[in-house]
Structure 1
Amino acid sequence: MYPTNSQSQDSINYQRIAEAIDYIKVNFKSQPDLNDVAEKLNLSPFHFQRLFSEWAGVSPKKFLQYLSLDYAKSLLKEQQATLFDAAMKTGLSGTSRLHDLFLTIEGMTPGEYKNGGAQLYINYSFADSLFGKIIIASTHKGICYLAFVEVEEEAFAMLLKAFPNAQYQKHEQTMHKKAIQLFNKDCSDAAEVKLHLKGSPFQLKVWEALLKIPAGKLATYGTIAAGLNNPKACRAVGSAIGKNPIAFIIPCHRVIQSTGIIGGYHWGTTRKTAIIGWEAAKTLGQ
């Protein structure tokens, strides 16, 4: 069942593409063709072909190749530790520099961190994105929370859990709109986005490291730990990534297992696979 008419066309299209991805993953060994997948979605092959091409910028066949584990493994092989370190130290080129150019991180004070957001005023709003509905929240300093949601009430409850002592108002801020620009296919005009994060010093370092992973590329827990000069901290890195409070913008979806397996994702492996494929298609299509 697809979203109601009150939801944006982008959200509807994402649900269709997500269903197609699920179908391909389950039936991968039988190599379903365009007609098979289109029939599963109750769309004509022509409509499905056009929808996929508009959404991803490439044909369905090529896009599905990007989603395969072989593609993930090939990216991993290309990204040797020296290249990862170089990206960490020198920045990136082209539109993949987006995070380096426009994102700055400020950690909350020890007092704000310990008291669960007391004295903080948080504005939050909901919006549609290419990968589903999101909740986004901010303090006066920057975006403090972003998550994919299914039920708005449950999403707000999770936000309350993150900042139990803060004061809340449902109001879309200008900075919310700026952050949502990062979901656009052409985000070259995205304005500066600042993040105001609650985390330990180690967590903040890991989240900053995630921002250095190029769009269309992948890293492992081990390469991130090595980049932080702590190669034995893979488990701690994984824990910090799992607590990432800013979906998509802090790209924890670009971290996979050392075997090349996509691995888990707080907001669903189908969504993670779709984002990886979308970024790869956009990067290779430039």
Structure 2
Amino acid sequence: METQQELDYKRIAEAISFIRENFKEQPGLDETAEHVHMSPFHFQRMFREWAGVTPKQFLQYLSVEHAKAILKTTGASLFDTAIESGLSGTGRLHDLFIKVEGMTPGEYKNGGASLQINYSFADSPFGKIIVASTNKGICHMAFADEGEEKAFAGLTAIFPNAHYSRIVDMIQQNALFVFTQDWSKLDEIKLHLKGTDFQIKVWETLLQVPSGGLTTYANLAKKAGYEGASRAVGTAIGNNPVAFLIPCHRVIKSTGEIGQYHWGAIRKNAIIGWEASHQNR
């Protein structure tokens, strides 16, 4: 049975999809509310509770003009000063709390035969997720749009020989604080990832993009040390094993268009707008 948070997100996603598909007509509050079968009053209230801003303000954060402004004003410092700045706490860079440890060659090759993996399901502002951890950190996080059974099958496909327990542990609970925006409660998040050296370098570089910030594939490739390899970097981004924590949603086209996303373009729009709204509150 779906939770209220899941139902709210589905309506938010449906509204975002409707507005973006009909942006030339600039649909108003009444029209959008009618599309999601709600009264304007209740839709506006639900949207504000979810995003912290009105639907109109939210869509402004998803405009090409806004994206270009973010890229222009943050491009120089997006990576170079994020880690050195030491920013932390509520509304700041949760990325500073995250450290990456790659799996050993043995763990990588044998499908995680030596790993004990705990996993659980949780609600997020963007739908139900599966989150999994080893004793070293989060190894997997994905949106469970097709149900818990398929989400678990996706996890076991990555680590076919691991030992699994459906347990909520402290590593998972700590990581989930990022969705509350109360990062004062957040201890250090560690990631334990299965990937090539190239992939892990790209993912580490992604972690330096601050919440509310954006970058392009070309800029990410350059900062990762692979200038001119935007396509290969894009493939590594698409193979990101940890949704949201590794913020592949913050990579957009150089034109300012939001672009595609492994877990759906509408969800990418929702996450970018949600992060922007929280940075501007």
State the TM bucket, normalised to the shorter chain: over 0.9
Equivalence for 2:132: 137
For 1:88 and 1:190, locate their aligned partners in 2 and report how far apart those are by CA, in whole Å.
Answer: 18
Deviation at 1:29, TM superposition (A): 0.5
Equivalence for 1:86: 80
Q: Are 1:210 and 1:251, in contact at CA under 8 Å, matched by a contact in 2?
A: yes
Deviation at 1:129, TM superposition (A): 0.6
Change (3 A) 1:38 1:263: same
Per the alignment, in what secondary structure is the counterpart of residue 24 of structure 1? helix
Equivalence for 2:99: 104
Change (3 A) 1:199 1:269: same
Residue 113 (structure 1) aligned with residue 108 (structure 2): yes
For 1:105 and 1:270, locate their aligned partners in 2 and report how far apart those are by CA, in whole Å.
Answer: 28
Q: Could you state the TM-score of these two structures normalised by the residue count of structure 1?
A: 0.93
Stretches of structure 2 lacking an aligned partner (at least 5 in a row): none
Residue of 250, 254, 257 corresponding to 2:250? 254
Deviation at 1:77, TM superposition (A): 2.2
Equivalence for 2:161: 165
Residue 49 (structure 1) aligned with residue 51 (structure 2): no
Which residues of 2 match residues 147-158 of structure 1 at below 5 A?
147-150=142-145, 151-158=147-154
Per the alignment, in what secondary structure is the counterpart of residue 90 of structure 1? coil
Deviation at 1:92, TM superposition (A): 5.9
Deviation at 1:86, TM superposition (A): 2.1
> What is the aligned length?
278
Identity of aligned residues (%): 55
For 1:70 and 1:207, locate their aligned partners in 2 and report how far apart those are by CA, in whole Å.
Answer: 27
For 1:213 and 1:86, locate their aligned partners in 2 and report how far apart those are by CA, in whole Å.
Answer: 10
Q: Are 1:92 and 1:214, in contact at CA under 8 Å, matched by a contact in 2?
A: no
Q: Are 1:116 and 1:165, in contact at CA under 8 Å, matched by a contact in 2?
A: yes
Q: Could you state the TM-score of these two structures normalised by the residue count of structure 2?
A: 0.94
Deviation at 1:52, TM superposition (A): 1.2
- Per-residue displacement from partner, 1:160-208 (whole Å, max 9, x unpaired)? 1111111111111121111111111333322222111011112111111
